[in-house]
């Protein structure tokens, strides 16, 4: 009988605490709704009406509204024209070789080195990172 009284008292207390929590939550939500209506909406409207606010594409204060195209500058055009020209040295000493604007290995010595390393890995029974076609089964 004593256990039943304890269980009932725990149930009554938990229901009471649940109701108190719901009342407090409702009061807080109601207060926040009123605060949003009275304060937030007005502040947002004041903020949006402010003329000092810049949008994403507006120039910064003190900046010219005119956009200068960098490709109209004669120095830039001169640099771009000379970028791919050979230097003042002989062609045999010109180490710059580009393919599609990226530097490349003209005599393919890196691939020879990579193939040597792949063969060495095979001899040592290692697996090379660059061997996609030779997978162990």
Alpha carbons within 13 angstroms on the beta-carbon side of residue 50 total 11
Residue 16's φ and ψ, nearest 5 degrees, are: -65, -45
pLDDT of residue 90: 75
What pTM was estimated for this model as a whole?
0.26
| Mean pLDDT on 7-36 | 87
Q: Nearest-5° angle of CA 49, CA 51, CA 53? A: 95
Supply the pLDDT for residue 118: 92
Bridge partner residues of 98 (DSSP): 103
Q: With 0-12 CB in 10 A as exposed, 13-18 as middle and 19+ as buried, what is 118?
A: middle
Structure tokens at 53: 């606010």
pLDDT digits (tens, 9 = 90+) for 69-125: 778 888 988 888 887 777 777 777 666 677 766 777 777 788 888 999 999 998 887
**117 Cβ neighbours under 8 A, 6+ residues apart:** 128
Other CB atoms within a 10 A radius of the CB of residue 16 amount to: 10
Q: Is the pLDDT of residue 137 over 50?
A: no
What are the start-end ranges of the H helices in 1-137? 2-35, 41-49, 74-82, 109-123
3-state secondary structure of 133: coil
Question: Can you give the pLDDT at residue 64?
Answer: 63
């Amino acid at each position: 009988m004593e256990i039943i009284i304890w269980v009932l008292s725990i149930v009554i207390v938990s229901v009471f605490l649940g109701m108190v929590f719901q009342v407090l939550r409702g009061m807080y939500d109601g207060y926040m709704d009123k605060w949003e209506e009275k304060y937030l909406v007005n502040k947002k409207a004041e903020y949006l009406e402010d003329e000092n606010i810049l949008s994403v594409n507006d120039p910064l204060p003190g900046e010219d509204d005119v956009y200068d195209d960098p490709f109209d500058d004669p120095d830039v055009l001169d640099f771009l024209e000379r970028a791919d020209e050979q230097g003042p040295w002989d062609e045999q000493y010109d180490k710059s070789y580009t393919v599609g604007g990226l530097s490349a290995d003209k005599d393919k010595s890196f691939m020879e080195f990579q193939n040597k390393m792949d063969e060495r890995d095979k001899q040592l029974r290692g697996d090379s990172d660059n061997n996609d076609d030779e997978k162990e089964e």
